[in-house]
Amino acid sequence: MAWLPGAWAATPLQAVASAAGEPQICVIAPRVESDADGRVDGTVPNARPTLVVADPLAELQIERGGARPWRAHIHVSKRAGTPIPWPLAPLKPGEQALLRLRPRGAAAGNFASVRLRAAADQELRSSERLVGRLGRDPKAWEQAVDGALARQQVPLAWALLFDPRAPVSQALQGLRVDLLSQGCGPGGG
């Protein structure tokens, strides 16, 4: 796999979710960024984003459309960096969802917040068609991740990299490990 030198390391990769009074947590995927006020958000190119955090989680909540939040307590045996597939119905184009993440060791009710917005309909469909074309071919997936990075489409690259349908690939797993070891800044997560 021919990673472009510095293509993924030259820009902020992840964000530390931490608005005023919230615990800090390093979100690897989906690709999110912090604004000047510490709010963390991102537009996801797929309707079922995979969540990957560099810190051990105790609890995850997902709020969308004013409905009662979906919630799960994360077992202590679940390692940091383990991908968490989207547990709900797919996001609709432009739909927002609020992820509330409680790191292990944080007090009950003390969550970091990450706001996700699904991309426009055309982008969601394009991403789904791409995954369908890639099938189970590891080389095709590697080339698709490389191509997304070359076009500066980091959210798409990370969506592909952590998609549960991706085939087993040493090269893809190597990048996943690199991202997790880097965490949200110098010295890792």
CATH for 100? 2.60.40.10
What pLDDT is attached to residue 16? 55
How much is the average pLDDT of 157-185? 91
How much is the average pLDDT of 120-136? 97
For 6-70, the three-class secondary structure string (H helix, E strand, C coil) is CCCCCCCCCEEECCCCCCCEEEEECCCEECCCCCEEEEECCCCCCEEECCCEEEEEEECCCCCCE
How much is the average pLDDT of 71-77? 88
Q: Is residue 9 part of a domain?
A: no
What pLDDT is attached to residue 8? 39
- Find the domain containing 45 and state its range: 15-182
Looking at the predicted structure, is the pLDDT value of residue 189 above 80?
Answer: no
What pLDDT is attached to residue 55? 87
Q: Is residue 3 part of a domain?
A: no
At 176, the pLDDT band (50, 70, 90 cuts) reads very high
How much is the average pLDDT of 29-38? 86
Q: Is residue 10 part of a domain?
A: no
Q: Is residue 32 part of a domain?
A: yes
What pLDDT is attached to residue 20? 60
At 98, the pLDDT band (50, 70, 90 cuts) reads very high
What pLDDT is attached to residue 19? 55
76 or 159, higher pLDDT: 159
What pLDDT is attached to residue 10? 29
Q: Is residue 188 part of a domain?
A: no
Global pTM reads 0.86
Sign of CA dihedral 126, 138, 150, 178: positive
Q: What share of the chain is helix, strand, coil (3-state, %, to 5)?
A: 25, 25, 50
Looking at the predicted structure, is the pLDDT value of residue 57 above 90?
Answer: yes
How much is the average pLDDT of 129-157? 96
What pLDDT is attached to residue 186? 54
Q: What does pLDDT average to over the chain?
A: 86
What pLDDT is attached to residue 14? 47
Total number of domains constituting the chain: 1
Q: Is residue 94 part of a domain?
A: yes
Q: Is residue 8 part of a domain?
A: no
